[in-house]
Amino acid sequence: MEIVDCAEKIVNVLTKLGAKNVEALDISEKSKDIKLLVICSLKTEDKVKEVATNFMEEAKGLGLELLRKDGFTKGQWVVLDYNEVLIEIFFEPLREKYNLEKLWKDGKNKLFPIENKKTKKPAKTPKK
């Protein structure tokens, strides 16, 4: 699966599961092993664990094979390693504290322009 398609599918699944502020970064120029870093957050530790567990099930349907997982004990920062794809699911205050987006967004890594596809109503033209 192409990395952009993979990023879009992962973001859609995480969003569907209730994750907030989902960001997907191409970090292939910084990391020899990881191409895609996906970061998201939730308001409670229980929700972090729930979304991570549900994502692991959904990921099988995307053809992603889980290599390692960490952080389920406390549910503050769960890391799911899918070889070239790393998913980091944060308890919101901890995400703000570590601010990984700032660490990785240095100009070499691009944020995938993935948005929830909501159709916008065309602007009304003024009557003459």
From residue 4, give the alpha-carbon distance in Å to each of 11, 33, 58, 77, 122.
Answer: 11, 17, 18, 25, 28
Mean pLDDT calculated for residue range 2-26: 91
CB 13 within 8 A of CB 58: yes
- Distance of alpha carbon 91 from alpha carbon 94, whole angstroms: 6
Domains and CATH numbers, the chain: 3-105 (3.30.460.10)
- pTM of this structure: 0.80
**pLDDT by residue (tens digit) across 43-98?**
999 999 999 999 999 999 999 999 999 999 999 999 999 999 999 999 999 888 87
Q: In which residue are the tokens 């020899």 written?
A: 32
